[in-house]
Amino acid sequence: MSNKVILVIMDGVGYDTALSQCGYLEGMVELGRAHRWKMRTALPTISAAMYETIHTGLSPLDHGVSGNEALRRSNVPNIFDQLHQAGHSTAAVAHSYFHTLYNGPYDPVEHVEVEDETKAIQYGRFYSMEGYSAANICAPAEIDLCAQATRLIRRHTPDYVLLHSSSVDSLGHKYTADSAQYRIQTWHIDNALARTIPIWREAGYDVFVTADHGMNADGHHGGNEEIMRNVPFYYFGAAEVPAKDQVLDQLAIAPTVLSRLDVEIPDSMKQKPLL
């Protein structure tokens, strides 16, 4: 049976921070209405590298996007291309890096909104954070991102929806992960999800919530520290799930999404689906 899927990426939110600050997500786990695991990321723990890993099931050392400076159009099988080739519809509310990875070079004037069924990401609402600095992190409000995703769902009912928030990562770089700003912004994502996950579930979507990487007390990520590599993985849905104490592999996200949508998993994705 095919299930529509939403994947939420909370950029820079480490495992322990999610458990301590995400009251809605953790409350749903406590009530048995969601599942949560610790997930181990690939290396290096850099944003663009992790975006591609999440969507290809490959290590950055295999897919070639080793960091933000190596950003380019994906040239290996990935969730968006596989779904598009199989005739499924896709949507994203996300940083412009995702447009570059799966649709091609990003022009903020032309691509801030995308509605093009010939593209891998057919329906998109992208933000660039142009002008980002220590004085202004240029991050959209969490509820605005969730609302945009909800509007795309109501208008197009896409089979796969990506929702990506950059704010926690940005504040972590400015104030470090050991800061009130970082922790409180994590809660803001959780608070927005509390108002929108019930809508998405009512619309028939399985929902996954995870992070690309964590953040350390220096306001940094990219390396092999536990705090950088351990991230949460939440699941809202009815599928059979792994044991709750199992540590999941980030490389399994892509085949899991394709499996939930009954799309053939390419040979390049070596991990078995989680569900």
Q: What DSSP assignment string belongs to 7-71?
A: EEEETT--HHHHHHH-HHHHHHHHTTSSEEEEEE--SS--HHHHHHHHHHSS-HHHHS--SGGG-
pLDDT in tens, the chain (275 residues): 579 999 999 999 999 999 999 999 999 999 999 999 999 999 999 999 999 999 999 999 999 999 999 999 999 999 999 999 999 999 999 999 999 999 999 999 999 999 999 999 999 999 999 988 888 888 999 999 999 999 999 999 999 999 999 999 999 999 999 999 999 999 999 999 999 999 999 999 999 999 999 999 999 999 999 999 999 999 999 999 999 999 999 999 999 999 999 999 999 999 999 99
Q: Is residue 208 part of a domain?
A: yes
Q: What is the dihedral of CA 137, 141, 142, 144, to 10 degrees?
A: -140
Q: Is residue 265 part of a domain?
A: no
| Strand partners for 248 | 39
Q: CATH code at 181? A: 3.40.720.10
Residue among 80, 241, 253, 274 at smallest CA distance from 159: 80
Q: Is residue 267 part of a domain?
A: no
Q: Which helix (H) or strand (E) is 206 found in, with range?
A: strand 205-210
Question: Whole domain around residue 195: which residue ranges?
Answer: 4-260
Q: Is residue 189 part of a domain?
A: yes
CB atoms within 10 A of CB 219: 18
Q: Is residue 12 part of a domain?
A: yes
Paired tokens of 149: 């995703």
Q: Note the pLDDT of residue 136.
A: 86
Q: Is residue 121 part of a domain?
A: yes
For 138, half-sphere exposure in the C-beta direction (CA atoms, 13 angstrom radius) is: 9
Residue among 164, 158, 217, 203 at smallest CA distance from 17: 217
Q: Is residue 269 part of a domain?
A: no
Q: Is residue 273 part of a domain?
A: no
Q: Which helix (H) or strand (E) is 151 found in, with range?
A: helix 142-156
Domain count, the chain: 1
Paired tokens of 173: 């770089």
